[in-house]
Structure 1
Amino acid sequence: MLNISEKGQINLLVSILAEGKKYKTVADLEDKMSLSRRSVFYWLKQTNEALKALGLDDIQRLAQGGYFLTQSTLDDLQEHNQADTRPVLNASERRQMIIWALIQHDPHLSLVNLSEHLAVSKNTIIKDFRELTPSLPTDTEVINTSHGKALVGSEGAQRQWVYQQLAQQNPLIIQQIRHLPHLQTVTEQLTQLQVTTGNSYSGDAAQLLIWYLTWLLARLQDRDRQLTGANNYPLDRYSQWCEALLAQYGQVTAAEVGNLRKLLLAGQLQQVNEDGQFSKQLLTTTKEVAQRFSSVSGIDLVTDAFLGALATHLHSTYFRIKYNVQYHNANLTDVKLEYSYLMSLTKYALKPFEDFLQSPVSSDELALIAVYFGGEVKRISPDWLDSEKQPDVILVCTSGIGTSLILYQQLSDRYPGISFSQPFSLEEFQKMDLTHGGPKLVLTTAQMTATADVPVLWVQAIPTSNDFQRLSQEFRQLGLLDNSRETKLVHAVLDIITDYARVDDFEGLTASLRDYFQQVQPETAGTPNDRPSLRDLLTEPHVQLADAAVDWQAAVHTAMAPLERDGSVQTKYADQIIKITLENGPYMMIKEGVMLAHAKPEDGVNRLGMSLLILKEPTILQVNGQSKRLQVIFGLASVDRDAHVHALSQLLALLQDEGLYQQLLTANDYAKIKTVIGESTRQQV
């Protein structure tokens, strides 16, 4: 076997390409590597990186023939031929194999045996054990016995470790399982389960379950490893299948059946049996989710095809969260970074699903669902996602989430013209690819090594005035800070003030200074912001408080009147909003009592604008057999899919903060409303 990498799958793939027929199809590689199609493409990419590091040609591809290596690459690879096919493991991989051996409960797991098996010294194994504790399954520990090392503790946690390694397609662990009995039998029985239930797993999910079940059946031959205790599970096709499988290979216990049933339900599906009561309820919830996303994004996603695809995904998501089957994918870190606005809209849209689930959705699950929305948005409106502004500065924090958010808020308030990412952990940051279209600066509270791609600047979790002076200087050098005279004066005065006095309302002081310098030098005003804030759009002429009772259609006309007066919209725009509502129902209700009244740009929009109407006497929006209480109308006139992004993000933050929303409802003048709107900018994390 060729040996060009510490990763066994790379060595296997390049060896397959170097042997036998010249051209290998994807199907050939799937078969020889025992991987899914998607995994093959992943390892093709990884192998190209390894070849590039050696100065060799990439794997070549013919449109019809398949994949192959150039002759020059084949010649150069001969020096990497190695008779001993055992891969050379790095420290992380070696420790994974030690944990694997501990979980298998080998009765003679001595340091000498491990050093021989892993081809390292005994001292290296001793060092590995010293570093092993953080990587062990939860609630387990390593003890010394008369026969060597042993792992004691939670059986469930040990199984979870194996499941996660397989979910991450760890080639070292997969290689161990391929040699176990019952692999083919489990494959056939899982296929039969999918036929019986009408629910079909995705390729990766099916492979994961086959590997895990094959390992589990072998483990259950040791009755000391069987789960015991009560587990109340319903008698359905899944539990019946589990009982039959366990009866064939091991002892059936309620705990084993219940635990296995949860994993089966949590597996990612590609097709769902739509006849079940649960599927019908979920489809209704999914439609509400899609309508909420459409109401704030301005893109109609409520189609049968998309609803079916999203409901299929949410089916598995529901059970993963309900049964605490954690989902994690390193690639989702890039989604969180690149599409933070899409993440914000998705989080808002998912409230009906979280209510249905009675539990919040994790950040990884949220990012995965955002991918579904992003794919459909890209199909309908290709330029929409491209318009999202990428962060100028990435925040990497090791402190608690509360401190991280304080840092984010301080930076966003002090430097409103700079786009900061949400705080990332050091682990998440290390998985990011910053080589293409990345940020201009990494700002971190962690002591970390500088990257060659982007400059790194350390700052305290709660910055001092000296920190802010360093930041301002760095931002100016990178071209991130506005160099206009007005902005320079504001920051210069702020730096002086914070050196000698405590500032309780930093944002208010900044705004007052900016207003003052604008009045002193009106001719130096900067260029208009192409993404105005909620405060910029909801000026006093655009905000109304209505004491008299009106019907909902009159309320819509009243809400849009300020935009008609200043020429932002034509009179037909309000009529079109009413028409859309009558045809499609109250989907513009984005919160109980709140309507985001809008139509398409071509329905009469002249320029970007927003308005606000608060009804002191709530009215009822009754349409298509549905009745909704209506008290607040935000009117939105959007000229494209981009300009209103910043303001809309702040609006969502305001509505999701129940305290701020109640202050808005009770406000009796514009000054109080303006204060509430200003506070909403602090909630955009």
Structure 2
Amino acid sequence: MLSFCPFKNGDKLLNLLQQNDHAISIEGLQEALQLSRRSILYLIKKVNHALSEQGIPIIQNKKGQGYYLEEQGKNALRSYEQEPVVCNVLTHPQEMRIPLKDLHLDDRNRLLDYMLITEPGISLQDFMDIFQVARNTVLQELRRLEVYNKKASFQVRVTPRGRIIEGSELAKRRWIIENFAAILHLLEKYYTLSYSPDLPALLQSYEDLVGSSLTDDAHHFMMYFLTWYDQRLVNGDRVSLTQTTWSEEEDRIRDWAEAFLARHDINDTDECQYLCRLMRQQAVTSVSQKDALYDSLHHFADHLASRFASLSGLDITQEQKVLVDRLTVHLISAYHRLQNGIRYHNPMLSKIKQDYQSLFYLTKTAVKSQEYLWHADFSDDEIALIATYFGGAVVQQTEELQQRQILVVCSSGIGTSQFLLLQLRSRYPQVHFTGPLSTAECLQFPLDDVGLVITTTSRQYFQNIPCPVLSISPLPTTQEWEELHNRLAELDFPIDTGLRENVREIVAIISDYAKIEDMNGLLRGLNDYFYRKNHQMKIRSRQSQSDSLLKYVTYCSGEIPAAAKHAKPAWQNAIQYACQPLLQGHFIVQSYIDRIIALLARYGDYMVLGKGVLLAHAKTKDGVLASSAALTLFEKPITMQSGKEIRCIICLAPQNQNDHLDFLALLLQKLNDTEWCKTLFTRNSQQELESFIWATVDANANQ
């Protein structure tokens, strides 16, 4: 890490440019440094002045591409690189020295809690030394911490030996586990952290015992968390558990946990069980010893995949076995987190909700319909991670494979890498991405037809492989997407084929009128310009009523009209009535309605979404002429064959596997909104219902 600039953010900017081989756009710098455009330009001016004073080449700006450092400048700055400091700040946070001005508010609060839990009795002077600030600033930060901790099960108290956190040991450890990944990420920016020297061998013995390998991220996490835990044990802090029944999985690793504690001459049943539960919460790449829990979760995953397929109308039959096997491996760690009240913080949550709204709400509905089997409540963070598995299966259906492939290596386990794959395949549908692979699997992979390796781990592991390697994060920044796009263009992968043809035509025209000294540079610059223009100017047009998948909205007052009645149960007549507008509008044929009724008669009320709504649907081949949907609200409840009552039937008729997903996501999102449902069921006329539904559709189209 560089130590060159005496002012804020200067070294961050130089480090960013030093580590990249390509120019970074102003938007990429804004995202990476969390600064405004004006602040970035002012910062570059200050940094360039400081570089000039030392005789170092300044930051350059390549028009249409961004800012970069020349090789001469990079080489000169290497003399300002600081040697990494190996230290034990994880267990002795009083030794930290981190300028407060470098930290965001959440990081400040998180770090303060971590310090007070880890090393209670920290004085104001200690805080002043750690953060290099005045006494009043520390007091102000501690007041903010009180607000931050209002929902926590512990509180800060002042004692003669400094400030401490009061609360149960279990609550403190739960907070540490939930926030430890963020703490690690923060501290590793400033320090090379030390760990207990015997932990690698202990973790290896654990993996041998259970017959499973921890993901790279889980291994990294446990290496440092167990170092923290070791110090906790040495300090004499002990946990007390209320439930001490040993599960089959915990009992299997009991001897290993006892041996771990024996290193500190500890023989404590509660601590032993706590350690067993902790280890079972960690993500693994595979499971070789299949037990009763695995079988139960495999059954759950199979039901979940079937429910997702039923809701979405997607055919995932070919991928289902692999999908269910991978999902089961993930669910093992999720199961133990939920059973032990550990909240998972998913860094991809907001991006998945925003960019893959349909996928998220379909997954949420599928999960919520099955979670009663676990007697647990899946959070949105957990659901978003499950969504990545379904997303990977869905995208894989339409992937056109090319001869050369790109390997995707992820340290965070299958779920995170599936999301990265989903993003990559969505942006570059003509490129063959293979994965997810662990670092070890990649190093053993035959590389004859591999054109690039994309990894979320450090490039140092791949120094000896004969193909290019690009390191990006699971949630790539604007700058990282640009760098990836440039690299794919350089390696001649099939990206934006039509756009590249246009670029070549433009270059041909330019060459007729001017001499081009750097043909490759011009091609790269134009490709980069059009790529950023395409990805920054996506405008979603307002959806008119005629463009919407929803074609008809009907309010049925009183009894179902006689014309729709036959010698059938009332619920069958209701479905016939609800689908009738699509039939009369020539969007479907009668066989489609007959198939819906037959499916419900055979398999029960599985199409009931809850809250009095039934989603009537079958397969396209059963009689769909054009993609469409119709919504009918009944004044009087309709009793299904199971005794469930419904008041709303939505007939969904998709002509392909994708065109209905946005509408379905909107529907599921609204059904999760209690106020929206209440308003729906209080509409009592055709006009009121139409106004309400079309307003909902139009509001969504304008977002």
Query: Under a length normalisation based on structure 1, what TM-score does the superposition of the two structures give?
Result: 0.58
Confirm or deny: 8 A CA contact 2:578 2:650 kept in the other structure: yes
The one-letter code of the counterpart of 2:607 is: M
Do the aligned residues in 2 keep the contact of 1:531 with 1:645 (CA within 8 Å)? no
Note closer, same or farther for the CA distance 1:9–1:185 as it changes in structure 2 (3 Å cut).
Answer: farther
**What residue number does 1:348 align with?**
365
Q: What whole-Å deviation, never above 9, does each CA across 1:394-421 have from its counterpart, x for those lacking one? A: xxxxxxxxxxxxxxxxxxxxxxxxxxxx
CA distance in 2, matches of 1:381, 1:71: 42
The answer to whether the aligner puts 1:249 opposite 2:269 as a matched pair is no
Q: Are residues 1:313 and 2:330 paired? A: yes
Higher normalized contact order (CA 8 Å, seq sep 6+, divided by chain length): 2
CA distance in 1, matches of 2:300, 2:338: 16
- Please, which of 165, 182, 185 is the counterpart of residue 168 of structure 1? 182
For residues 4 and 124 of structure 2, the distance between their equivalents in structure 1, rounded to whole angstroms, comes to 29
Q: Who is 1:90 aligned against?
A: 100
1:331 is the counterpart of 2:348: yes
**Does the 8 Å CA contact 2:120/2:162 hold for their aligned counterparts?**
no
> In structure 2, how many angstroms separate the alpha carbons of the residues matched to 1:371 and 1:84?
36
Q: Does the aligned pair in 2 maintain the 1:227–1:253 contact within 8 Å?
A: no
Q: Which amino acid letter does the alignment assign opposite residue 655 of structure 2? A: V
Distance 1:538 1:649 in 2: 23
* Letter aligned with residue 158 of structure 1: K
Alignment partner of 1:258 out of 273, 283, 306: 273
- How far is the alpha carbon of 1:221 from its aligned partner? 1.0
Separation (CA, whole Å) in 2 of partners of 1:660 and 1:99 = 39
Give the Cα separation in 2 of the matches to 1:374 and 1:201: 23
Instruction: Return closer, same or farther for 1:292/1:98 CA change in 2, 3 Å cut-off.
Output: closer
Q: State whether residues 650 and 683 of structure 1, in contact with CA within 8 Å, keep that contact through their aligned partners in structure 2.
A: no
Q: Does 1:566 align with 2:585?
A: yes
Does structure 2 conserve the Cα–Cα contact (< 8 Å) formed by 1:534 and 1:648? Answer: no
- In structure 2, relative to structure 1, the CA distance for the partners of 1:15 and 1:295 (3 Å cut) is closer
Whether the 8 Å contact between 2:600 and 2:607 is mirrored in structure 1 is: no
SS of the residue aligned with 2:586?
A: coil
Partner in structure 1 of residue 521 of structure 2: none
The number of aligned residues is 510
**Closer/same/farther in 2, CA of residues 363 and 295 from structure 1, 3 Å limit:** same
- Per the alignment, do residues 306 and 597 of structure 1 end up closer, same or farther by CA in structure 2, a change over 3 Å counting? same
- Give the match's secondary structure for 1:270: coil
Alignment correspondent of 1:589: 607
1:212 Cα deviation after fit: 0.9
Deviation at 1:298, TM superposition (A): 1.7
Separation of aligned partners in 2, 1:131 and 1:558 = 59
Question: Could you tell me which of 80, 86, 104 is aligned with 2:118?
Answer: 104
Aligned to 1:154: 168
CA–CA separation in structure 2 for the residues paired with 1:661 and 1:150: 47
Q: 1: distance between equivalents of 2:13 and 2:190?
A: 17
1:8 & 1:160 partners in 2: Cα distance?
Answer: 37
1:259-278 matches, cutoff 5 A: 259-273=274-288, 275-278=290-293
The 2-side partners of 1:617 and 1:125 are apart by 64
1:228 to 222, 240, 265: 240
Aligned pair 1:299/2:314, yes or no? Answer: yes
Distance in 1 (alpha carbons) for counterparts of 2:664 and 2:145: 47
Answer yes or no: is the 8 Å Cα contact 1:2–1:15 preserved in 2: no
Please tell me whether the aligned partners of residues 228 and 253 of structure 1 are also in contact (alpha carbons under 8 angstroms).
Answer: no
SS of equivalent residue, structure 1 residue 605: coil
Contact 1:531/1:643 (8 A) holds in 2: no
Counterpart check, 1:282 vs 2:297: yes
Asked if 2 retains the 8 angstrom alpha-carbon contact of 1:557 and 1:574, the reply is yes
Q: What is the DSSP-based 3-state SS (H/G/I as helix, E as strand, rest coil) of the residue aligned with 1:310?
A: helix
Q: Show CA shifts across 1:549-581 (max 9, x none).
A: 369999988876654443222455457768999
Q: CA deviation at 1:481?
A: 11
Structure 2 residue aligned with 1:598:
618
Distance 1:558 1:254, change over 3 A: same
In the TM superposition, 1:62-77 aligns within 5 A as 71-75=71-75, 77=77
Matches for 1:663-682 after TM superposition, within 5 Å: none
Please say if residues 613 and 633 of structure 1, whose CA atoms lie closer than 8 Å, have aligned partners that are also in contact. yes
Distance in 1 (alpha carbons) for counterparts of 2:631 and 2:333: 40
Cα 1:581–1:335, aligned 2, differ >3 Å: closer, same or farther? same
Code of the aligned partner of 1:166: F
Q: Shift of residue 587 of structure 1?
A: 9.7
Amino acid at match of 2:173: R
Correspondence list, 1:19-58, <5 A: none
Matched, 1:194 2:207: yes
Measure, in 1, the Cα distance between the counterparts of 2:686 and 2:289: 47
Q: 1:548 is matched with which residue?
A: 567
Residue 338 of structure 1 deviates from its aligned partner by 2.8
Within a 5 Å distance, the mapping from 1:440-459 to structure 2 comes to none
What's the CA shift for 1:299?
0.9
| Deviation per residue, 1:70-91 (Å, 9 max, x gap) | 5134145358556897875234
Which residue does the alignment assign to 1:449?
none
- Pairing 1:355-434 to 2, within 5 Å after superposition: 355-381=372-398
In the TM superposition, what whole-angstrom CA distance separates every residue of 1:445-493 from its partner, at most 9, and x where no partner exists?
A: xxxxxxxxxxxxxxxxxxxxxxxxxxxxxxxxxx9998xxxxxxxxxxx
Aligned to 2:652: 636
CA distance in 1: counterparts of 2:633 and 2:545, whole angstroms: 26
Aligned CA-pair RMSD: 5.7
For the Cα contact (< 8 Å) 1:653–1:680, is it kept in 2? no
Q: Percent identity?
A: 22
Distance across 1 between alignment mates of 2:198 and 2:633? 65
Is the CA contact (8 Å cut-off) linking 1:177 and 1:214 kept in structure 2? no
Distance 1:605 1:532, change over 3 A: closer
Quote the residue 1:217 is aligned against. 230
CA–CA distance in structure 1, aligned partners of residues 379 and 363 of structure 2: 12
Q: Distance in 2 between matches of 1:548 and 1:662?
A: 33
Contact 1:609 / 1:636 at 8 angstroms: preserved in 2?
A: yes
CA deviations 1:132-190 (Å, max 9, x no partner) are 43456641313131x444444333333234323422253454589966553x4223222
Q: Which amino acid aligns with 2:77?
A: L
The residue type paired with residue 159 of structure 2 is: N
- Paired with 1:7 and 1:309, the residues of 2 have a C-alpha distance of 42
- Aligned-pair CA distance for 1:220: 0.5
- Residues 165 and 358 of structure 1: is their aligned pair in 2 closer, same or farther, counting only changes over 3 Å? closer
**Distance across 2 between alignment mates of 1:100 and 1:671:** 56
Give the deviation of 1:349 after TM superposition.
0.8
SS in 2 for 1:256: helix
Which residue in the other structure is 2:159 paired with?
144
Q: Is the Cα–Cα contact under 8 Å of residues 242 and 257 in structure 1 kept in the other structure?
A: yes
Q: Which runs of 5+ in 2 are unaligned?
A: 22-27, 49-57, 61-67, 86-95, 401-421, 424-474, 482-538
Please give the per-residue CA displacement for 1:94-132, whole angstroms capped at 9, x wherever unaligned: 66555444333366x444444345444455444444444
Normalised by the length of structure 2, the TM-score is 0.57
Give the aligned partner of residue 501 of structure 1.
none
Structure 1 spans left out of the alignment, 5+ residues: 23-41, 59-67, 387-430, 438-478, 483-525, 621-626
- State whether residues 653 and 681 of structure 1, in contact with CA within 8 Å, keep that contact through their aligned partners in structure 2: no
